[in-house]
Amino acid sequence: MMIKGVKELEIKSMSKQHTPPRVGFVSLGCPKATVDSEHILTRLRAEGYLISGSYQDADLVVVNTCGFIDSAVEESLDAIGEALAKNGKVIVTGCLGAKGDVVRQAHPKVLAVTGPHATDEVMAVVHQYLPKPHDPYSDLVPPQGIRLTPKHYAYVKISEGCNHRCTFCIIPSLRGDLVSRPVGDVMQEAQHLVNAGVRELLVISQDTSAYGIDVKYRTGFWGGKPLKSRMTELAAAMGDLRTPDGERAWVRLHYVYPYPHVDEVIPLMAQGKILPYLDIPFQHANQRILKLMKRPASSENVLARIKQWREICPDLTLRSTFIVGFPGETEEEFEELLDFLVEAQLDRVGAFAYSPVDGAVANVLPDHIPPEVQQERLARLMLLQEEISEQRLKRKIGKTMKVLVDEVGEEGAIARSSSDAPEIDGVVYIENGQHLNAGDFVEVKITDSDTHDLWAEIA
Ligand code: SF4
């Protein structure tokens, strides 16, 4: 039987065993739905899938539904039922998919349900249940892509661009507004990486806590289940990924702005699902300077929240960055920043003297700070933070912790704990770690510390 609305595209001369995977397609509804179907079919063909004209010959079936009036809902539900009965593997997309649980209540066995205009989500589910056919050109590239990082850690970019307009920054004018990647694609990439031996996923973006705002936290799919395009849900799903030897992959969140919903990821850290590490760029502590900088979420009560986060997750490591000598910063405002650092007791701090970037709004602000004053403030801040860091690291002596080995040499191994992101934070030197390998997880006992690093021996 032919599937409605789609012509058969077959290579008759090949046996089924050697033909590319086949997708059946049922397209219902208005011209807008037809265009959505065309987009999905175009992607399928571009990736080498065949479009099958019968349920029996298809490896799975996509049903693009209509949900406009009752009779359209009925027709869509019937089409899904027919596809399930005749094929068994069905992905539902289109307007009916946007109407809550209607589809799942009627047909709980469907593989996934997406809303309209969801080409990326549909393709992510197709890839999951029907891997892409072999392509002699693109298959030279491994599924996890080409990486410049060592084999055991990788950066996963979850969005591009930024909706904020911090006055010292020109990224939005270079990269545009926030565009979040489909959550199914992000998870697929993370899974490929972990399958390929990556043990630590470093989640990056311009503004990680804004993930999904541009798509209204649209529900995508992962593992056949709905998954919201939202930082908490994404972090929890990534935290469930296991390496081939059954270890939970480390998930580290970078560039998290202190929106109220950031509080939701702290329990995931306390439960050990993701690393107890937040890279949260505060940039300053004084409200007037933060306003001049136009920083997102700058008015949240940061100190009280840090206290609360540490009560929930005592092992939490906080990293932040600050700009000193921003135009108009008075000595009192700078001292307020120093007081904040004393109070906040952040674990890791990066600081920079403000420097004008071509095209940044802050360039036209009055009262630029002379470079020598900027440098003097920067040195004072770094000295204070070194003392704080030294004290905080000293408290770790005698503790046992899990670390990830980065390098091994004759003098031992260099590893990182949950507190250390690669390249930017400290390291853990394991003096008796000569026999270890890069990428090993190992339990160590901390024996010594300095301002940034720890020394340890295998526990
Ligand atoms: S500094 Fe501000 S404007 Fe620039 S990327 Fe970060 S949040 Fe966006």
pLDDT computed for residue 13 by the predictor: 37
Give one DSSP letter per residue of 260-277, joined into a string: GGGGGHHHHHHTTSS-SE
Give one DSSP letter per residue of 345-392, joined into a string: --SEEEEEE----TT-GGGGSS-PPPHHHHHHHHHHHHHHHHHHHHHH
Give the closest residue to 183 by CA, choosing from 242, 153, 223: 223
| Percent of the chain's residues with pLDDT above 90 | 60
Torsion of CA 198, 272, 255, 375, to 10 degrees: -100
Give the closest residue to 220 by CA, choosing from 106, 91, 120: 120
Rounded to the nearest whole angstrom, what is the distance from the C-alpha of residue 167 to the centroid of ligand 1?
Answer: 9
Q: Cα 26 to the chain's mean position, in Å?
A: 33
pLDDT tens-place string over residues 264-294: 999 999 999 999 999 999 999 999 999 999 9
**Looking at ligand 1, which residue's alpha carbon is closest to its atom 4?**
169
pLDDT band at 221 (very low <50, low <70, confident <90, very high): confident
**Looking at ligand 1, which residue's alpha carbon is closest to its atom 5?**
206
Pairwise pLDDT comparison (11 vs 30), residue with the higher score: 30
* Continuous segment of H or E residues that includes residue 23: strand 22-27
How distant, in Å, are the alpha carbons of 92, 241, 318, 458 from that of 400? 49, 24, 20, 9
Q: Does the Cβ of 172 fall within 6 Å of ligand 1?
A: yes
As beta bridge partners, residue 225 has 222
pLDDT tens-place string over residues 124-161: 889 888 988 877 766 666 666 666 788 999 999 999 88
Across 14-23, 141-150, 171-180, 361-370, least confident range: 14-23
How many whole angstroms separate alpha carbon 244 and alpha carbon 123? 25
Question: Could you tell me whether strands 412-416 and 400-409 are parallel, antiparallel, or unpaired per DSSP bridges?
Answer: antiparallel
Rounded to the nearest whole angstrom, what is the distance from the C-alpha of residue 160 to the centroid of ligand 1?
Answer: 11
Tokens 């070194």, located at residue: 386
